[in-house]
Amino acid sequence: MSMRIFLIPSATAALMLALPAFAADDAQTFVNKAAIGGMFEVDSSKIAQDSAKNQQIKDFAKRMITDHGAANAKLQKIAGEQKLQVPAQSDAAHKSDLERLQSTTASLDQPYVEMQRKAHADAVGLFEAYAKDGDNPALKSFAAETLPTLKMHQDMIEKIAGASASTPAVKSA
């Protein structure tokens, strides 16, 4: 019994020490991730708007260019006011995804949809965490204000993905 009494507080202390790992990113890290994600949304959507075969995907891409373009501009303004640096270019992983879209010889609809599903899942998680526990009030407010739009985009792309999955693939000769 005395061993159990000792183990419970020890386990509780260990858990409490691990909790900060689940906290929101600091302000600069949030800006970096949000800016890179936003750039990817716009750049990949420009490719899709020009090359997608499905009109629903083209319409979604147009919406991403508009909404994420506006969010990126707002983030740039807030970050500047907060004396934070905004990355000027994407990271290697996102550049690789863009190159993959640009070099696709078959329909880019499916790869674009999958990339958007992942990008929006990542963005919603990032913005939810920062809106809840962010360390910069201006960015925390930005995250909270932007989150409903990101969730709407996530719902839109999930519906497109569902419709694409139920539509038989068309193969070209």
Q: What pLDDT, on the 0 to 100 scale, is given for residue 116?
A: 97
Tell me whether residue 2 is exposed, middle or buried, using C-beta atoms within 10 angstroms of its C-beta: 0 to 12, 13 to 18, 19 or more: exposed
Tokens of 126: 């990032």
What's the length of the chain?
173
**Which tokens sit at 46?**
């420009």
User: What's the distance, CA 48 to chain centroid?
Assistant: 17
What are 166's two structure tokens? 């139920």
The three-state (H, E, C) secondary structure of 89-152, written as one string? CCCHHHHHHHHHHHHCCCCCHHHHHHHHHHHHHHHHHHHHHHHHHCCCHHHHHHHHHHHHHHHH
pLDDT of residue 24: 78
Per-residue confidence (pLDDT) for residue 166, from 0 to 100: 57
Q: Which residues of the chain have pLDDT under 50?
A: 6-7, 11-22, 168-173
pLDDT at 164: 73
Q: pTM value?
A: 0.80
Neighbours of 10 (CB within 10 A): 10
Neighbour count for residue 158 (Cβ, 10 Å): 15
Q: Which domains does the chain have, with CATH numbers?
A: 23-164 (1.20.1260.10)
Is 170 exposed, middle or buried, given 0-12, 13-18 or 19+ CB atoms closer than 10 A?
Answer: exposed
The per-residue pLDDT for 105 is: 79
